[in-house]
Amino acid sequence: SWTPGAFVDLTVNELKEKIGEDKVVLGLSGGVDSTVAAVLLHKAIGKNLYCIFVNNGLLRKNEFVDVLDQYKDMGLNVKGVDASARFLKALEGKSDPEEKRKEIGRVFIEVFDDEAHDIEDVKFLAQGTIYPDVIESISVNGPSATIKSHHNVGGLPDFMKLKIVEPLRMLFKDEVRRVGKEMGISPKLLGRHPFPGPGLAIRILGDITAEKVRILQEVDAIFINGLREWELYDKVWQAGAILLPVQSVGVMGDERTYEQVVALRAVESTDGMTADWCNLPYEFLQKTSNTIINRVKGVNRVVYDISSKPPATIEWE
Ligand code: XMP
């Protein structure tokens, strides 16, 4: 029967044999899959694994620095690339969700390519593709196009003839977590909620500005830290905040204000295909809403999303 220990031993040996003394580049996202793939490869080939972690400026508050530190503590050879300005520039004035996704994908590949070119003689591109990605990608794109630009970081840069390594492509998510645990990756990292590749860009409805990103990062941090403090984080499959493109009236002293509305979303799910909204305690919602409105300038109203998937989706865009 399948055990994580046996999987690690077997895969490390296979990777050693396949890669030999060659160099491998891998895009880390901060998520479970790319992290487990990186640690497996690191076990097999050590310093010949070059990891790249791109800050697209649409990550959670402090996430770039925090996650980069964690990766370094794990002994990974990782280069953090802050390309926030480049992404924000590319997104300027764009409000169509698919256009935003496309721009982010395009800029990511440019940045990743530039970085990969700096690694002399790199032969392989590693990806954290897992079994459900493989299946979904076959059904969407046909069997030849197994590299998914939608969900996974990376994708094969056109002009680089890199061979692909996907050590997790036969695993389901829970098996990936067990393999990660077996290799000593921290439970906090392994238990992280899924987070979309385009990040906060698809949670800011409409066009994106640095100020909107800042507001949403603050709101999101209050919500997520609150879930942790209330020991609700692990009961929730995914959570986040959405910045709505409406202003609503409020009062401040004698004045009427028109400020932003944010929606909070927390769902239970097993695979993201269907999802139910979480029945979070009223007291938690009350405290969270107060904290957000008191602390985040520019927000005067908080709503909680009570829609399930289907027909609603988890994200709003
Ligand atoms: P929806 O909104 O379709 O989301 O119910 C299902 C899961 O997919 C994530 N998601 C994305 N992930 N790029 C990603 O990497 C995307 O463009 C994207 N759109 C949605 C979403 O966060 C949820 O986990």
- For 202-238, the pLDDT digits (tens) are 999 999 999 999 999 999 999 999 999 999 999 999 9
Asked if the model's pLDDT at residue 95 lies above 80, the reply is yes
Q: Is the pLDDT of residue 29 over 60?
A: yes
> Does the CA dihedral 302-307-308-311 come out positive or negative?
negative
30 is in an annotated binding site: yes
Token digits of residue 241: 């905040």
Is 35 annotated to bind a ligand? Reply is yes
For residue 102, CA distances in Å to 35, 58, 193, 197, 198 come to 24, 14, 23, 11, 9
The number of the ligand 1 atom at minimal distance from the alpha carbon of 152 is 15
- CA distances (Å), 255 to each of 249, 251, 258, 259, 298, in order? 10, 6, 10, 12, 14
Domain extents in the chain: 4-190, 209-304
Three-state secondary structure along 16-71? HHHHCCCEEEEEECCCHHHHHHHHHHHHHHHHHEEEEEEECCCCCCCHHHHHHHHH
ipTM attached to this prediction: 0.99
Instruction: Calculate mean pLDDT across residues 259-271.
Output: 96
- The confidence score (pLDDT) of residue 185 equals 96
Cα–Cα distance, 44 to 20 (Å, whole number): 9
- Residues framing ligand 1 (Cβ under 6 A): 101, 150-151, 194, 196-198, 238, 272, 309, 313-315
Q: How confident is residue 315, by pLDDT bands cut at 50, 70 and 90? A: very high
Architecture of domain 209-304: 2-Layer Sandwich (3.30)
Quick one: which H or E segment has residue 106?
Answer: helix 97-117
* pLDDT value at 92 more than 70: yes
pLDDT at 155 over 70: no
**Ligand 1 centroid to residue 80 C-alpha, Å:** 24
CB of 114 closer than 8 Å to CB of 14: no
**In this predicted model, what pLDDT tens digit does every residue of 53-80 receive, in sequence order?**
999 999 999 999 999 999 999 999 999 9
Q: What is the mean pLDDT of the chain?
A: 92
3-class SS of residue 191:
coil
- Identify the pLDDT of residue 134: 86
**CA dist., res. 145 & res. 166, Å (int):** 14
Q: Which CATH class is domain 4-190?
A: alpha beta
What's the pTM value of the predicted model, to 2 decimals? 0.91
Query: Helix, strand, or coil here: 109?
Result: helix
To the question of whether residue 65 is assigned a binding role by annotation, the answer is no
33 is in an annotated binding site: yes
Res. 43: pLDDT tops 80? yes
Which ligand 1 atom is nearest residue 194's CA?
A: 24
pLDDT tens digits for 159-195?
457 899 999 999 999 999 999 999 999 999 999 999 9
Mutate to test the pocket of ligand 1, among 195, 315, 316 (most ligand atoms within 8 A of CB): 315
